[in-house]
Structure 1
Amino acid sequence: MDLRAVALPIGRLLILISLFMTIPAAVDLVAGNPDWIVFLASALVTGCIGCVATAAFLRSASRFNTRETLVFVNAAWIVFGLAGALPLWLSGLKISFVDAVFEAISGLTTTGATVLTGLDAMPPGILLWRSLLQWIGGIGIVVLGIWLLPGLRAGGSQLFSIESSETSSKPYGRFEPFMVRLLLLYGVLTCASTLLYYLAGMTFFQAVNHSLTTVSTGGFSTSDSSLGQFDDLAIYWIAIVFMMLSSLPFLFLITLVERRVWRDAQQVFFFLRLVIAFSLCAFVALHLHDTGMPFHHLTLSVFHVVSVVTTTGYAADDYLQWGNLAIVLFFLLTFLGGCSGSTSGGFKAFRMLLLISYIRVLLKGMVRPHRVAEARYGGTAVSASVIEGVLIFALLYTMTFVGFALVYALAGLDIETALSASITALANVGPGVGDVIGPSGTFQSLPELVKALLSVQMVLGRLEILAGIILLTPDFWSER
C-alpha cells in the first residue's frame, strides 16, 4: 500500500478546511467577537500543515487503488473532524477536546447530537461553523474534494459510492457531469430554503444557518429549543419539504428536473409510504395525549416523523411527552433512514425493500418448496451476491449497534440511554430517547469515553460501516 497516495489529497483537503474557517472568522470579525482570532489561527495552522503535506508528497504520490481509496475516505473524515474541532476547542466555549471533536464529528456526519447549551447567546461564528460542518458533511467531504482536487477525479465514482451508498452514479457516462449537477442541485436547494425561511420570518442569519442544516439533514440549530424557537407552522412545513427533498436520491431529483426516466423509483415511493404511515400514527398518539387544533397536531406529527426518519434531528416539541405510543414510534424511526444517494443516514430504504423481498421469497419457499421464486427490486431479479451484501450489512449494523450499546452500559449509562445513544449515533439521527439525550437534552453529561466512542460510531454510520470495519481486518493490510 502506498500511503503517499493518501497523504497528498489529505494535505489538499486540509487547505480546503482552512479556507472554510475564514468564513466564520469574517462573521465574528464583523460582529466584534474575539473568536475571529481563533478561527483565523486555526485556519493558518491547518493550512500550513496542508501545504507542507502537499509539497512533501506532490511528486511521489501514485494513483489510488482499492485499498488506498478506502484508507483515504476514512482518513478524510477523521482528519476533517479533528481539524473542525480545533476552533471549537480553542474558542471561548471552554470545552474539552473530546467535546470539541464530538461536536465537529456530529456536524460532519450530519448526526446533529450536541454537547453545547446556550446556543441562543452563542457567538455567530461558532453557530455558523457548526452549520457549515453539516453542510459540508451533507454533500460529502469527498465530493467537495473531487470537485476541487482534479487528482481525485479518476476514482471519483468509487469514492462517491463508498461515501453515499449511491451505486448508479454514472448516468452520464463520466462522473464529472453528474458531480456538477449534484453540486448545482445542492446549492439551489440551499438557496431556495434560505429564501423561504427568510420570507417566513427568520432573520437572514437564522435562515442561512437553518438552510445549511436542513438541506444536509443535519439538524443543528441556532437555539437550544431548535425550531421550537419560532413556533410557526409555515417554518415547520418549509423544513418538512426540504428535509424530504434532501432525503430522496439526488440522482432522482436531477432526472426529474431534466425530465429523464429514472428506473429506481421504488425506494422513493416506499419511503414516502413509510413517512405517511408513521406520521398518521404519531398524529393519533399526539391527538390522544393533547386536545388541540388537528392541523397543528398534524404539522407537529409530520415534522417530527420527517425529522427523525430523514436523520435530521430538528425538534419543535418534546415528542417523548406524547405518551408511550409516541416513544415506541420514534424509537423505531431511529432504526430507519432515507434513500440511497441522499444526505440522510440510517438503514436506507432500498436495503429495507431488498430484505422484505427476500423474506417474501423465503416464505413462499416454505409454502411451496418446489416453486422457483427470486427476490426482485424495481421489477428485475436481484442477484444472490446483492442479497448477501444486504444481509451482511444488516448483520454488521445490528452487531455494531448492540456492541457499542453494551460498552456504553458498562461505562455507566442506563440501558435506555445506552441503546438510544448507540442507534442515534450509528444512524446519524441526533436526538435520542430518554431524559438525558432526548429531544430536550444534550450529550454533555455523558462520560468522556462514551463521547469518544460515539464519535467513532458516527463516522462508521456515515461511511456505511463496511468501509470503516474493513480497516480492522488483517487481510486489508497484508501485502500478499
Structure 2
Amino acid sequence: MAARADLLPKTLQWWRSFIEWIGGMGVIVLMLTIVAGPRPGAAKYSLYYAEARGEKIHPSIVSTLRTMWWIFLLYTFISTIILWGAGMPIWDALNTAMTAISTGGFSVTANSIASYHSVAIELALIPIMLFGAISFAVHYELMRGKGQILWQDPQTRWVLIMMLMGSLFLTLENLANLGVLQSLRDSTFQFVSAMTCTGFQTVNIGSWSATSKLLLSAGMVFGGAAGSTAGGIKVIRMLILFKGVGWRFRKITSPQGALVPFRIGEKAIDESEVGHRLEDASLITFLWLIFLALGVIVLLHTTPPKFSLADVIFEVASAQGNVGLSTGITGPTMPTLSKLALSFNMWIGRLEIIPVLMFIRFLFFGVQ
C-alpha cells in the first residue's frame, strides 16, 4: 500500500493508473484482441466469458473485443479532455480519466478527489463513472446514434434509476448534518462512486451515520451493469431475481399448463431458459453474500473496537466490489490477517466467484 500517492514517482503513478485501466477491460480480453490466432471458436468463447463479458457486439468475438477497446480508448481520451477543461492539471486529468472510465479509482493526489475542492471536477467525474458502469454493447449503440438505448435497455435503465434513488435517499439521510446543497453534492458523488465501484472519495465517510454507510454498502453490493468495468453482483442478476419471484408467483397461481411469459425489457425468455437464468443469478448472489459475510466475520475479530459493524460491512463490501472506498479501517498499518481477508475478497470479486471456486477445486483435486 502507498501511504501517499502524490509522493510516488510519476512512472509509478502512471503504472498504478495503467494497471487499473487494463484491469478494467481484463488482461484476457487484451490478449485475445492482440493475439487472435487460430484458436478454436469455443476456446475463444471460454476465455471471453472468463472475464465475465456477457454481450457480443459483432458475430465474431475478436471483432467485438476490438470494438470494445476502441470505445474504451475513445472514452479515455474524451474524459481526459473534459477533466482538464474542468480544472485538473493535464497529468492528473490523464491518470484520473484512466481510472474513472475503468471504475478503478486510483488517484495521483494525497486525498483522492477531495484534494481538488472543485465542484466542476466532481460534476465532470459523475458521468464518466456512470459510463464506466454501463455495458459496452450499450455504448456501441450510443455511438451509432441510438440515444434511446439508455432507457430502452432494461439493465441500463435500472442502473440509472438505482443511482438516482440511492443518491436521493443518501441526500435525505445526510441533510441534517450537511445542509441541502452540501448534502446533495457529497451524497450524489459518493453514491455514484460506490455503485459504479470506482472508489473516488471526496469526504470522510467514517464520520457519516450507520444508515449512510449501509446505503453505500448496498450500492457497492449491487454494482453496475454486466458487460461493463464495474464490480458487484451486477444489476442484471438482481433484476432477474426480482422478476423471477413475481414470475414464479404468477406461475403458481395460474391454471396448470398455462404459459406465463418472462420478460426482461422487450425480450421474452423461453420458459426452458428461465430456470437456468434464475439458478445462475441465485447461485452467484448467494455465494457473493456468503463470502461477504465471511469477510465481515474475519474483520470483526481483527478490527479495533472503535469501528462499528456498519464500518466493517462497508469495508468488506468495498473490497469485494473492487471499489476502494474506506471508513478508515483499511490502511498500511492494518493487521496482516485483515489484509489477507480483504485481498481474498478483492480477488473473488474481480474474477467472479465461480471461476475462483473452480480454480481452488483444481488446486486440490486436479482435473476430473
Range into which the TM-score falls when normalised by the shorter chain: 0.7 to 0.9
Matching of residue 329 in structure 1 with residue 223 in structure 2 = no
What secondary structure does 1:358 align onto? helix
Letter in 2 for 1:305: F
- On the 8 A contact 1:286/1:326 being kept in 2, the answer is yes
Q: Offset of 1:189 from its aligned partner? A: 0.7
- On the 8 A contact 1:289/1:323 being kept in 2, the answer is no
Matching of residue 422 in structure 1 with residue 310 in structure 2 = no
Partner of 2:283: 392
Partner of 1:343: 229
- On the 8 A contact 1:226/1:314 being kept in 2, the answer is yes
CA distance in 2, matches of 1:211, 1:471: 33
Larger radius of gyration: 1
Matching of residue 211 in structure 1 with residue 211 in structure 2 = no
Partner of 1:376: 263
Q: Offset of 1:271 from its aligned partner? A: 0.8
**Aligned 1:384-463 pairs, distance under 5 A:** 384-411=275-302, 416=309, 417-432=311-326, 434=327, 436-437=328-329, 442-463=330-351
Q: Offset of 1:475 from its aligned partner? A: 10
What secondary structure does 1:383 align onto? helix
Structure 1 pair 400–324 and aligned structure 2 pair: CA distance change class (3 A): closer
- Partner of residue 164 from structure 2, selected from 258, 276, 282: 276
CA distance in 2, matches of 1:449, 1:475: 22
CA distance in 2, matches of 1:344, 1:159: 19
CA RMSD of aligned residues (A): 2.6
Provide the TM-score with structure 2 as the length reference: 0.88
Letter in 1 for 2:277: V
- On the 8 A contact 1:217/1:243 being kept in 2, the answer is yes
Matching of residue 472 in structure 1 with residue 360 in structure 2 = yes
Partner of 2:54: 167
Matching of residue 156 in structure 1 with residue 50 in structure 2 = no
Q: Offset of 1:372 from its aligned partner? A: 5.5
- On the 8 A contact 1:425/1:457 being kept in 2, the answer is yes
Partner of 1:358: 244
What secondary structure does 1:341 align onto? coil
- On the 8 A contact 1:153/1:176 being kept in 2, the answer is no
Provide the TM-score with structure 1 as the length reference: 0.68
More displaced, 195-204 or 368-377? 368-377
More displaced, 324-333 or 405-414? 405-414
CA distance in 2, matches of 1:285, 1:422: 22
Letter in 2 for 1:277: M
- On the 8 A contact 1:354/1:376 being kept in 2, the answer is no
- On the 8 A contact 1:285/1:322 being kept in 2, the answer is no
Q: Offset of 1:418 from its aligned partner? A: 4.3
- On the 8 A contact 1:161/1:167 being kept in 2, the answer is yes
- On the 8 A contact 2:233/2:284 being kept in 1, the answer is no
**Aligned 1:217-232 pairs, distance under 5 A:** 217-232=103-118
- On the 8 A contact 2:196/2:220 being kept in 1, the answer is no
Q: Offset of 1:402 from its aligned partner? A: 1.5
Q: Offset of 1:369 from its aligned partner? A: 7.5
User: Unpaired runs of 5+ in structure 1?
Assistant: 1-114
Matching of residue 182 in structure 1 with residue 68 in structure 2 = yes
CA-to-aligned-CA distance 1:84-142 (integer Å, 9 cap, x gap): xxxxxxxxxxxxxxxxxxxxxxxxxxxxxxx3222233322222111111111011111
Q: Offset of 1:479 from its aligned partner? A: 4.9
- On the 8 A contact 1:218/1:311 being kept in 2, the answer is yes
Q: Offset of 1:354 from its aligned partner? A: 0.2
What secondary structure does 2:222 align onto? coil
Q: Offset of 1:311 from its aligned partner? A: 0.4
**Aligned 1:114-129 pairs, distance under 5 A:** 115-129=1-15
- On the 8 A contact 2:133/2:228 being kept in 1, the answer is yes
How many residue pairs get matched? 356
Partner of 2:185: 299
Q: Offset of 1:385 from its aligned partner? A: 1.2
Percent of pairs with identical residues = 25
CA distance in 2, matches of 1:343, 1:423: 17
CA distance in 1, matches of 2:97, 2:286: 35
Partner of 1:246: 132
Letter in 1 for 2:263: R
User: Unpaired runs of 5+ in structure 2?
Assistant: none
**Aligned 1:3-14 pairs, distance under 5 A:** none
Letter in 2 for 1:469: L
